[in-house]
A and B are shown apart, each in its own frame.
Chain A
Amino acid sequence: MIWKIFLFLLLVFVSVAGIAFPIVENPQYWYEFPFIPGLGENAKIIFFHVPTAWLTVIGFLMSTIYSFKYLRKKNLDDDVKSYAAAQLGMVFCILATITGAVWAKFAWGSFWSWDPRQTSIFALLLIYGAWFALRSSIESEEKRATLSAVYSMIAFITVPFFIFIMPRIMTGLHPGSIPTNPNEEQVSPVINFKMNGNMQLIFFLSLIGFTILYFWMWQVGYKSMLLKEKLDKQLIRG
Chain B
Amino acid sequence: MNSKSYSLFLKDFKSELRTRYAINALAMFIIVAISVILFSVGNEKISQSLTGGLFWVVIFFTAMSGLSRAFVSEEERGTALTLQLIAAPSTIFSGKLIFNIILVFAMNTVIAILYSVLFEAFVIQNFALFLTSFVFGNIGLAVSSTIIAAIIAKAGAKGTLYPVLSFPILLPLILTSVQLTLFAFDGISFERAKFELAIVVSYDVIMLTASYMLFDFIWKE
Q: Of residues 157 to 177 in A, which have CB atoms within 8 Å of B's CB atoms?
A: 157-158, 161-162, 165-166, 169
A154 engages B214 (CB within 8 Å): yes
A123 within 8 A of B: yes
Cα(A137)–Cα(B157), bound, Å = 6
B167 engages A147 (CB within 8 Å): no
Given A123-B171, A134-B161, A158-B168, the answer on whether A147 and B210 have CB atoms closer than 8 Å is no
Given A153-B210, A157-B206, the answer on whether A130 and B218 have CB atoms closer than 8 Å is no
Shortest C-beta distance, B192 to chain A (Å), equals: 13
A134 engages B156 (CB within 8 Å): no
B164 engages A150 (CB within 8 Å): no
A138 engages B155 (CB within 8 Å): yes
Given A147-B154, A147-B155, the answer on whether A130 and B167 have CB atoms closer than 8 Å is yes
Pick from A137, A143, A154, A166 the residue with the most CB of B within 10 Å.
A154
- Residues of A contacting B221 in the complex (Cβ-Cβ under 8 angstroms): 142-143, 146-147
What residue of chain A has the Cβ atom nearest to residue B202's Cβ? A161
Q: Is the interface of B mostly helix, strand, loop or mixed?
A: helix
A158 engages B172 (CB within 8 Å): yes
Shortest C-beta distance, B177 to chain A (Å), equals: 13
Partner of A143, one of B154, B169, B195: B154
- Residues of A contacting B195 in the complex (Cβ-Cβ under 8 angstroms): 169
What residue of chain B has the Cβ atom nearest to residue A126's Cβ? B168
Partner of B164, one of A130, A146, A155, A162: A130
B169 engages A158 (CB within 8 Å): yes
A137 engages B218 (CB within 8 Å): no
- Residues of B contacting A143 in the complex (Cβ-Cβ under 8 angstroms): 154-155, 221
Partner of B218, one of A133, A146, A157, A162: A146
Given A150-B218, A154-B147, the answer on whether A137 and B168 have CB atoms closer than 8 Å is no
Shortest C-beta distance, A161 to chain B (Å), equals: 4
Partner of B217, one of A133, A138, A146: A146
Cα(A147)–Cα(B164), bound, Å = 15
**Quick one: CB contact mask for A116-159 with B, threshold 8 Å, 1 for yes?**
00010001001101100110011100110011011101110110
**Quick one: CB contact mask for B159-185 with A, threshold 8 Å, 1 for yes?**
001001101110110010000000000
What residue of chain B has the Cβ atom nearest to residue A131's Cβ? B165
Q: Of residues 84 to 127 in A, which have CB atoms within 8 Å of B's CB atoms?
A: 119, 123, 126-127
Cα(A157)–Cα(B151), bound, Å = 17
Partner of A151, one of B151, B156, B157, B206: B151
Cα(A134)–Cα(B169), bound, Å = 14
- Residues of B contacting A150 in the complex (Cβ-Cβ under 8 angstroms): 151, 214, 217-218
Given A134-B155, A137-B156, A143-B154, the answer on whether A154 and B210 have CB atoms closer than 8 Å is yes
Cα(A146)–Cα(B216), bound, Å = 11
Given A130-B167, A133-B164, A146-B221, the answer on whether A153 and B214 have CB atoms closer than 8 Å is yes
Cα(A155)–Cα(B217), bound, Å = 16
Shortest C-beta distance, B92 to chain A (Å), equals: 16
A65 within 8 A of B: no
A205 within 8 A of B: no
- Residues of B contacting A147 in the complex (Cβ-Cβ under 8 angstroms): 151, 154-155, 218, 221
- Residues of A contacting B165 in the complex (Cβ-Cβ under 8 angstroms): 130, 133-134, 151
* 12 further interface pairs, Cβ-Cβ under 8 Å (given A151-B151, A154-B211): A126-B171, A129-B164, A130-B167, A137-B161, A138-B155, A138-B156, A139-B156, A143-B155, A147-B151, A155-B168, A157-B210, A161-B199
Please report A residues at the B interface, Cβ cutoff 8 Å. Answer: 71, 119, 123, 126-127, 129-130, 133-134, 137-139, 142-143, 146-147, 149-151, 153-155, 157-158, 161-162, 165-166, 169
Closest 6 CB pairs of A and B: A137-B157, A127-B168, A126-B168, A161-B172, A130-B165, A150-B214
Q: List 7 A-B contacts (CB under 8 A).
A: A126-B168, A134-B155, A134-B161, A134-B165, A147-B151, A147-B155, A150-B217
